[in-house]
Amino acid sequence: MNPYSQLRRWFALAACLAVLSGCGTIRKHPNFDQRSAEIAVVSVMPPDVLLQRIVFKGDNEVMYRESESAKKILSDALRGAFAGRGYEAKPFEITKALRKKYPEVSTDWSKLTDKYNERVKDVQTQFVAKMKYADFKLSLGADVNPFADHASADVLVFMVAAGYINSAGENTKNFFKSILVGVGSLGSYVPIYNSFGGAMHVTVVDGDNGDLLWHNFSPPTLAYNLTDEKALRKMVQATLKGFPDRKAAAVSPGAVEVREPKIEVDRVKISPPLPARPR
Amino acid sequence: MKSWLGFTLLVWALAAGSCAPNREEIVPVSSRELPAHLADDESEVRQVVSDFERYLSGREVFYRDAALETYLRKLTVPLASSLDWPESMKLRVKILRDPTVNAVSLMNGHLYVHTGILARLDSEAELAFVLAHELAHIDHRDTLYQMINLRRKTVTFKVLDLLFTPVASLVGAGGLSEMTLALIYASSVTGYGREAEAGADLFAIEKISRLGYPAQAALRFFEVLMAEKERYKEGHEIFFLSSHPSNRRRKAELTEWIRAHPGQRSSARRGRYLRATYAVRLENAKLNLDLGRFYHALDDVAKLLRQNPEDPAAYYVRAEIYRNLPANWEKVREEVSEERWKRLEALGQAGRAERWREKALRDYRKSLQLEPGYAPPYRGLGVLFLELENFPEAKRYFNKYLEIDPAARDRRSVLRHLKDMEAMMQGGKA
């Protein structure tokens, strides 16, 4: 909730992940390969982005305006990345018309964002503690249904990103510190400080049951300036590298009988068996 | 080792000297005009506050309940009656949908109360103490002084870092120096500081006593929060405490104040508080459940059921908590205190799961017994039986759910469950 604590969390995460940068970062649901074959329509949810300017005096500034413009760029970049893989990708927008039809949409979206951020923390815990793929079974539950229904999408794409950029004063301090430490260590160690950095998580979520199907975070070895459009687009490409192209068999929702809900179970179209994964 | 300790103490001393605020300098909003040299700082803080509020509004983080907001406003106005604030400062109380125990005040006169603190408090008197405490922070301009201190501390630590780290690098201890400084810095910039908290406590206890609330409510508030530490792992919760130093000392100071001011019999208005906050406390339980804070959610529901043992919604939420526990026992381990976890661990994983599922089943059924037409428990029972691989029962409950609520927002997930089950049953037959 607090933007400052959120940023601290992200930078701590980035530091942790830098240590583990040699490992693969993509996480997939155990049934991802099977389920990805059913994906045709992707809805890109509004990214959750927060940027901060680190200043020498310590009262760091949250860059609200830059965060807003980064959100738009990231949403567009995500849409483009999925479209480039053959999916029908569209951004989810909370419009006036949608608010009229679904008055709680903003509140429900806010709750879902909080829940997603919590699941991202779970992913980090699993990543650091377990380092294995088989147990990647996390879910946002049925709360995703109204969003997937309104978007007529098979999956929803969530993103959370955070970044910082140093002020001139902070950069000057870092520059002198590098020189002084270099002199102090007689040239054996000269620290280099980035003047900006950022991290992002992207998750593809099943619109039916909220399962996290595919998850990745930005390569921790690279420093990104999240106020730079090119860097943002590059970061999205790098993070989505490894997400498969659309399978030819996938069909748009609406063509599948389950999209036209009927209570009688016997008439619901049957797909290959899946293990029980409630909520 | 000795020299490192000396270094740490030296840093502490330098930092403390550079940033300890002089309480005599503090200019309350309601007493005098702000000195000219602080005016720029204050307008900066106001800008930050305004940006922050815009950010909060954009995220729709508020819990909206007109009746509860009116209740909070009626409670706050008398607490602020003695404060002569400029017209530009409008007193407002809003509820943040956040299950952590906290309350926040901003320099423009706006108070933000977390749903989490409303769930933990027991009476109107305790809430009045919290609100008065936050009003005091606004009136004492604690945010402004906190920002000034933060700047001083940050500059001091950065200068110390520039001085010590290169010197420490000579003996290969540059990293250690940086880390020590960072730790000391982090621990020194949290919260408003002891004196500011003590000042706010004093203001609050005087205020609530004058308004006829028992002053002991302040002590009970601290006791409730400190007891949280026994139930949950430290640092996982209790923001109000963690950002407010020396709580035992604060409680002791308030105890002294109460001894010196023997009051008349007064009412904490417990019943009125519990009635006014019932819905928000139920919502807080759901928030805790959504965020995987299962035992916090159980505590919330237990309190609701003590108040109203006939509430089908509370039984349903508790059933959902129990149903979700077996798959999330690792989160429980992170959440509860070591002592509590040891008791759960003794049951074994299978034993725990069985016990939790039994409780879920019992609560779903109780909820339906109280209100047979209430749809959510049918869905919950469907999922529970699906987890137990009792597909015919699961199917029966899912169908009943959709029969009662054909336009359910989550019907898509129910249909998916039905579809998956059907496939599994077909696979079994084959």
pLDDT at A276: 39
Report the alpha-carbon angle B6-B11-B14, nearest 5: 120
- In the structure, what pLDDT confidence band is assigned to residue B148 with cuts at 50, 70 and 90? confident
* Residues of A with Cβ-Cβ distance to B417 under 8 angstroms: 209, 278
For residue B209, give how far its alpha carbon lies from the nearest alpha carbon of chain A (Å): 33
Instruction: Mark whether B62 and B20 lie in a shared domain.
Output: yes
In tens, the pLDDT along A76-101 reads 999 999 999 999 999 999 999 999 99
Q: Which of A16-30, A194-208, B101-115 has the lowest mean pLDDT?
A: A16-30
> B385 or B251, which is more confident?
B385
Q: From A117, which residue of chain B is nearest by alpha-carbon distance?
A: B291
* Residues of A with Cβ-Cβ distance to B54 under 8 angstroms: 64
Percent of chain B with pLDDT over 70: 88
> B201 or A277, which is more confident?
B201
CA atoms within 13 A on the CB side of A153: 27
When CB atoms are compared, the residue of A59, A61, A258 closest to B150 is A59
The predicted model scores a pTM of 0.84
Q: Backbone phi, then psi, for B420, in 5-degree steps?
A: -65, -40
The last residue of one of the domains, among B230, B260, B290, is B260
For residue A81, give how far its alpha carbon lies from the nearest alpha carbon of chain B (Å): 26
**Average pLDDT in the A187-200 region?**
87
pLDDT at A245: 93
pLDDT at A256: 40
In tens, the pLDDT along B351-375 reads 999 999 999 999 999 999 999 999 9
pLDDT at B163: 83
**Average pLDDT in the B186-203 region?**
80
pLDDT at A22: 43
CA distance B311 to B29: 46
The answer to whether the CB of A122 falls within 8 A of the CB of A138 is yes
* Residues of B with Cβ-Cβ distance to A58 under 8 angstroms: 150-151, 153-155, 189
Query: What value does the mean pLDDT of chain B take?
Result: 86
Q: What is the CATH number of the domain that holds B287?
A: 1.25.40.10
* Residues of B with Cβ-Cβ distance to A268 under 8 angstroms: 415, 418-419, 422
* Residues of A with Cβ-Cβ distance to B181 under 8 angstroms: none
Distance of CA B76 to the CA centre of its chain: 20
Percent of chain B with pLDDT over 90: 47
- Identify residue B192 by its one-letter amino acid code: Y
Instruction: Mark whether B341 and B213 lie in a shared domain.
Output: no
When CB atoms are compared, the residue of B383, B386, B399 closest to A263 is B399
When CB atoms are compared, the residue of A146, A186, A278 closest to B387 is A278
- Best B48, B171, B396, B416 residue to mutate vs chain A (most A CBs within 10 Å): B416
For residue A37, give how far its alpha carbon lies from the nearest alpha carbon of chain B (Å): 16
- Cα distances (Å, whole numbers) of residue A117 to A112, A198, A238, B151, B412: 9, 16, 21, 30, 23
Instruction: Mark whether B299 and B383 lie in a shared domain.
Output: yes
pLDDT at A20: 47
Contact between chains at A265 and B395 (C-beta distance less than 8 A): yes
> B120 or B238, which is more confident?
B120
Q: With the C-alpha atoms ordered B9, B10, B12, B16, is the resulting torsion angle positive or negative? A: positive
Instruction: Mark whether B291 and B245 lie in a shared domain.
Output: no
- Best B167, B417, B426 residue to mutate vs chain A (most A CBs within 10 Å): B417
In tens, the pLDDT along A56-67 reads 988 888 999 999
The answer to whether the CB of A208 falls within 8 A of the CB of B412 is yes
> A220 or A192, which is more confident?
A192
pLDDT at B7: 54
Whether B39 is in a domain gets the answer no
Whether B269 is in a domain gets the answer no
Instruction: Mark whether B93 and B186 lie in a shared domain.
Output: yes
- Best A71, A145, A152, A160 residue to mutate vs chain B (most B CBs within 10 Å): A145
In tens, the pLDDT along B401-410 reads 999 999 999 9
In tens, the pLDDT along B319-356 reads 999 999 998 888 888 888 888 889 888 988 899 999 99
Instruction: Mark whether B157 and B113 lie in a shared domain.
Output: yes
Whether B8 is in a domain gets the answer yes
When CB atoms are compared, the residue of B98, B389, B415 closest to A1 is B98
Q: Is A228 left (phi over 0), alpha (psi -120 to 50) or beta?
A: beta
Chains A & B: contacts with CB separation below 8 Å: 162
Q: Which residues pair with A203 in a beta bridge?
A: A158, A215
B232-241, B249-258, B307-316: which has the highest mean pLDDT?
B307-316
pLDDT at B261: 83
In tens, the pLDDT along B38-82 reads 888 888 888 888 888 888 888 889 999 999 999 999 999 999 988
pLDDT at B283: 97
Whether B37 is in a domain gets the answer no
DSSP state letter for B375 = S
**Average pLDDT in the B212-228 region?**
85
pLDDT at A74 over 80: yes
For residue B166, give how far its alpha carbon lies from the nearest alpha carbon of chain A (Å): 4
Count structural domains, chain B.
2
Range of the domain at B401: 278-429
> A11 or A196, which is more confident?
A196
pLDDT at B168: 83
Listed in sequence order, the DSSP H helices in B85-210 are 115-120, 124-139, 142-170, 174-188, 194-210
The last residue of one of the domains, among B260, B290, B312, is B260
In tens, the pLDDT along A16-61 reads 554 444 456 888 998 899 899 999 999 999 999 999 999 998 888 8
* Residue pointed to by tokens 């950002």: B243
Whether B7 is in a domain gets the answer yes
What is the b/e burial string over B7-19, where b = at least 16 CB atoms within 10 angstroms of the residue's CB?
beeebeeebeeeb
Distance of CA B287 to the CA centre of its chain: 11
- In the structure, what pLDDT confidence band is assigned to residue B287 with cuts at 50, 70 and 90? very high
Whether B337 is in a domain gets the answer yes
**Average pLDDT in the B269-283 region?**
95
Instruction: Mark whether B310 and B225 lie in a shared domain.
Output: no
Instruction: Mark whether B71 and B153 lie in a shared domain.
Output: yes
pLDDT at B265: 63
Domain boundaries, chain A: 3-250
Instruction: Mark whether B128 and B246 lie in a shared domain.
Output: yes
Q: What is the ipTM of this complex?
A: 0.83
Residues 6+ apart with CB under 8 A from B31: B84
CA distance B120 to B221: 9
Instruction: Mark whether B50 and B192 lie in a shared domain.
Output: yes
pLDDT at B363: 98
Contact between chains at B169 and A274 (C-beta distance less than 8 A): no
Residues 6+ apart with CB under 8 A from B43: none
The answer to whether the CB of B160 falls within 8 A of the CB of B11 is yes
pLDDT at B118 over 90: yes
* Residue pointed to by tokens 């159980």: B298
Contact between chains at B423 and A62 (C-beta distance less than 8 A): no
pLDDT at B135 over 90: yes
Residues 6+ apart with CB under 8 A from B258: B205, B215, B216, B219
Q: Which of A261-270, B2-11, B135-144 has the lowest mean pLDDT?
A: A261-270
Instruction: Mark whether B326 and B200 lie in a shared domain.
Output: no
Whether B340 is in a domain gets the answer yes
Instruction: Mark whether B207 and B251 lie in a shared domain.
Output: yes
Whether B38 is in a domain gets the answer no
**Average pLDDT in the A103-109 region?**
93
